[in-house]
Structure 1
Amino acid sequence: MQTIADTTVHRPDHIPAELVRDFDLYDIPGSADDVQAAFAAIQQACPDIFWTPHNGGHWVATRGDDIIAMQRDFGHFSHKHIVLPPMPEGTPRQIPLEMDPPEHARYRRPLMQALMPAIVAELESTVRDVAIAAIEKVLPQGECEFIEDFAKVLPIHVFLELVNLPLADKAVLLPLAEDSVRGRDAETRLRAHMEMGAYLIDKVRARRDNPGNDLLSKLVNVDLGDGRISEKEAVDYATLVLFGGLDTVAGMIGFIARFLALNPGHRRQLVKRLDDDAYLKNAIEELIRRHGLANTARVIVEDFDYNGVHFRAGDRILPANLFVGIDDRLNDAPLVVDFERAKPVHAAFGNGAHACPGAVLARREVRIFLQEWLSRIPDFQIRPETRPILATGMVNGVLRLELVWP
């Protein structure tokens, strides 16, 4: 990737010309074939930290050690604004994601409590039943469009049950989630948030008046110590959680299914050892490492120097999670999937105060997908003459994946 000439780039005067690169998060060369390999090419070709004029102009950190440090250092790298390009002024905060400690902890606590390992374990039979039903439905057909027929069915069914919302509402909710996490412009994302808020307002009011034991009731009645969360904050909080619950696990399952369709050797390894818990656990970490999803931005809090780079207060930076898993300084041959890898290093679920509270549930859903799908459909491939449709953005994803089997 070549340095852009000064005459074609508007850059702040504190950014050296030699650190400017032509990087667009929504249009990465090669991403139509392999999203994570396309990011790896950027990582290899660019400085560890560089600046791009695209999407409002922002820094990009490409190396795992820096990214992990930035994820943990909220004193310098704030979550105040996490999307690129920046949302319009006055846009409601994404609660609790666009909060820093200590404020963040008060809002996050009920989400963590609702997704603790013991509670997720109680959901296992439900998750497994949903997976089996979805697989049995497509099994006799010898084909499916995997994203609509399975990847979205499993996590969305489980999540809507967690928040006690009608499964039929997924037809309304899924397009909004897609626009929120992969909308190319701020207007598209803002419209999705406003429409989700309009959908939720009556439901939030009902749960505040008569709380139940569901996750949504817990979120919209958070006790902040000096009173409960306001109605507006409750709607904003519920909006963020629904967008996260409706999209990210589906994306991860989609990437894994695509990989296994393209790599029969790896697929056979898993089929042979589906009952080996330790092996399967490590294999899942390796698959997650190789197929990173989320990309959350940060705002520089104050002027300071970091590893030879001068940051100015208000600068935005993208320490993209997936760069950690594909960093050859942390993982040997990082684009190679090795189920025997001793310690897959990744940041797919973030680090520090903002580590993903849904990580336990996500891993459980991936494991159940592998066990139930591969025990019924051990041999499958991408339909000839079709190509998976992949997307990059704030959350990478697989939009379409046509599979066939004998």
Structure 2
Amino acid sequence: MTETTLSRCPIAHAPADAPPVPAHVPPELVLDTRFAQGQIAYDLPDPYLPSDVMRDPEVPRILYYPWPTSGRQHGAWTVSHYEDIRRVYEDNDIFSTEGAAQFQALAGETFPSIPLGIDPPDHGRYRKFLNPWFTPVAMNDMEPKIRAIVTEMIDAVVKDGEVDIAYDFGRIFPVRVFLNLMGFPFSMFDQFLEWEYAILHNPDIAAKAEAVKGILAYLRGFIAEKQANPDETLGSYIANGQMDGQPLTADETIGMTWFLWLGGLDTVASTISQMFRRMALDTELQARIRANPEIINSAVEEFLRVQPLVNSGRRIKKDFTWHGVDLKEGDWIACINSSGNFDEKQFACPRDFDPERKNNRHFTLIGGVHICLGAHLARRELRVLLAEWLSRVPPFRLKPGADTTVIPGLLSIRNLPIVWDTKAVS
């Protein structure tokens, strides 16, 4: 391992206070890779840079991460190379999503997160049921509402010359879109984010479980209300849904509603915060996109690639040996997308931000049949925001003294004040 790589982020053996690991895990593979799991904050221009060490030729292709991951109370094997990650996402004969994002198990719940926690072929039935709400055609219908929310929010701040783009804009805009889509009241906004923060970031298992209980009690009440008073929202569609001529079961209804709630609150919000951070730090990039609005779509794809928020996991369905490591049925394996998205064998000059990059097949929105259900919605929100912001707000920069620390994952930046010259506002 080169001295440069080691100095950037050394990989040490897991400390003595790390959780125990299964007996079949070789001790030499139990390493402290929390720096690549979104557990450590950075002030680097590229906060995902430390993950490059995961692909160093002297680092084993498969490691073991002993801390809880993906809503589970146990550790997981990890893979960090693009081809290995792709195999995990695409090989449904060996890798299962059963138990993925199963935070509800912390509260004693047994229903799956749907559709993520369902394997093919049943997975396809649930995707077919939900897909009409998330197709490009559906996004065309939604775009006027998305644009109206964006322009209203921009109009409210553009003459002020500054905004906390993370807390007062990025945190709110996509959630307003999601709440409207589902039919959730905006009055629940702060409580929703409080619950989600506890579920995703509080290390205390009891606190996570309490938050899960709170949101599930609310969602079950929401479902009952939509069943009593149906409307045109996605929440009502699920609450009153049928598949193959049969009403959804209670587990299916809560499984879908819960999973959409969990995934709909912060992915785009975190992407927005990091996107604006990068543009504020790189004024040439900001100017390039402003001058060439036709590259906004590809620029959004590159923002997604360089900001991989989630390292998704799978359950191993049968014993097998991979890269010389014996993996056992029931083991969990996590894909370090924060490494795979920068694999030199897949992306030319991967650390360069290229807003016109072609064939940008990254894993930020996962891959295989379980690719993010809301991928088209996320992309549309980001494209509309970028187009409207850059056409209506003058060049911006970080407010002097702004903290640019990032936790490279979900809910990654709490506050990021940016400023611009109000004299340039048209």
1:6-64 CA deviation, whole Å, 9 max, x = no partner?
A: 98874434223332211226665563534322333444373222112222221111011
1:46 and 2:71 aligned: no
Label 1:87 to 1:297 Cα distance change in 2 as closer, same or farther (>3 A): farther
Structure 2 partner of 1:124: 143
Cα displacement (A) at 1:378: 3.5
Among candidates 297, 300, 315, match of residue 313 of structure 2? 297
Contact 1:388 1:399 in 2 (8 A): no
How far apart in 2 are the matches of 1:6 and 1:337? 35
Aligned equivalent of 1:138, options 151, 157, 169: 157
1:62 counterpart (77, 80, 84): 80
CA distance in 2, matches of 1:135, 1:273: 21
Aligned residue number for residue 312 of structure 1: 328
TM-score, normalised relative to structure 1: 0.90
Output the TM-score relative to the length of structure 2. Answer: 0.86
CA distance in 2, matches of 1:118, 1:385: 44
1:159 Cα deviation after fit: 1.1
Name structure 1 gaps, 5 residues minimum.
none
Query: Aligned-residue CA RMSD in angstroms?
Result: 2.5
Instruction: After TM superposition, list the pairs within 5 Å mapping 1:241-320 onto structure 2.
Output: 241-274=260-293, 276=294, 279-320=295-336
Q: How does 1:174-213 map to 2 (within 5 A)?
A: 174-213=193-232
2:117 to 85, 94, 98: 98
Cα distance in 2 between the residues matched to 1:26 and 1:48: 16
Distance 1:189 1:43 in 2: 32
Kept in 2: contact 1:294–1:348 (CA 8 A): yes
* CA spacing shift, 1:88–1:184, aligned 2, 3 Å: same
Determine whether 1:113 maps to 2:124. no
Q: Secondary structure at the match of 2:265?
A: helix
1:237-270 Cα shifts (integer Å, max 9, x gaps): 2122022111111111111111101100000000
8 Å contact 1:95–1:233 — kept in the other structure?
Answer: yes
Q: What does residue 92 of structure 2 align with?
A: 74
CA displacement at 1:127 relative to structure 2: 0.8
SS in 2 for 1:170: helix
For residues 104 and 235 of structure 2, the distance between their equivalents in structure 1, rounded to whole angstroms, comes to: 28
- The 3-state SS of whatever aligns with 1:381 is strand
1:16 aligns with 2:26: yes
- Contact kept, 8 Å, 2:313 with 2:335, in 1: the verdict is yes
Closer, same or farther: CA 189–329 of 1 in aligned 2, 3 Å: farther
**C-alpha displacement of 1:173:** 1.5
1:341 aligned partner:
357
Tell me if structure 1 keeps the 8 A contact 2:37–2:336: no
User: Which whole-Å CA distance do the structure 2 matches of 1:19 and 1:374 have between them?
Assistant: 47
Residues 276-295 of structure 1: CA distance to partner in whole angstroms, max 9, x if unpaired?
Answer: 2xx22222211111111122
Closer/same/farther in 2, CA of residues 368 and 85 from structure 1, 3 Å limit: closer
Residue 355 (structure 1) shift: 0.7
Q: Select between 358-367 and 77-86 the one with higher mean Cα deviation.
A: 77-86
The letter of the residue matching 1:181 is L
Greater CA drift, 34-43 or 136-145: 34-43
Alignment-mate amino acid for residue 15 of structure 1: V
Identity of aligned residues (%): 29
Cα 1:238–1:397 change in 2 (3 A) is same
Deviation at 1:83, TM superposition (A): 4.6
Which of 370, 376, 383 is matched with 1:354 structurally? 370
Letter in 2 for 1:363: R
Q: Residues 134 and 153 of structure 1 are in contact (CA less than 8 Å); yes or no, is this contact kept in structure 2?
A: no
Deviation of the 1:368 alpha carbon:
0.9
For structure 2, the residue ranges without an aligned partner over 5 or more in a row are 1-9, 69-73, 422-426
Say if 1:91 and 1:190, in contact at 8 Å, map to a contact too. Answer: no
8 Å CA contact 1:178, 1:247 repeated in 2: no
Where 1:399 maps in the other structure, the secondary structure is: coil
| Alpha-carbon distance between aligned partners in 1 of 2:159 and 2:374, rounded to the nearest angstrom | 33
State the 1:167 CA deviation: 2.0
Cα distance, 1:242–1:30 mapped onto 2, change above 3 Å: closer
Query: For the structure 1 residues 245 and 30, does the alpha-carbon distance in structure 2 shift closer, same or farther, using more than 3 Å as the test?
Result: closer
Rate the CA distance shift 1:139–1:59 in 2: closer, same or farther, 3 A.
same
Partner of 1:405: 420
Relative to 1, partners in 2 of residues 1:160 and 1:27: Cα closer, same or farther, differing over 3 Å?
A: closer
Tell me, yes or no, if the aligned pair for 1:268 and 1:378 is still in contact at 8 Å. Answer: no
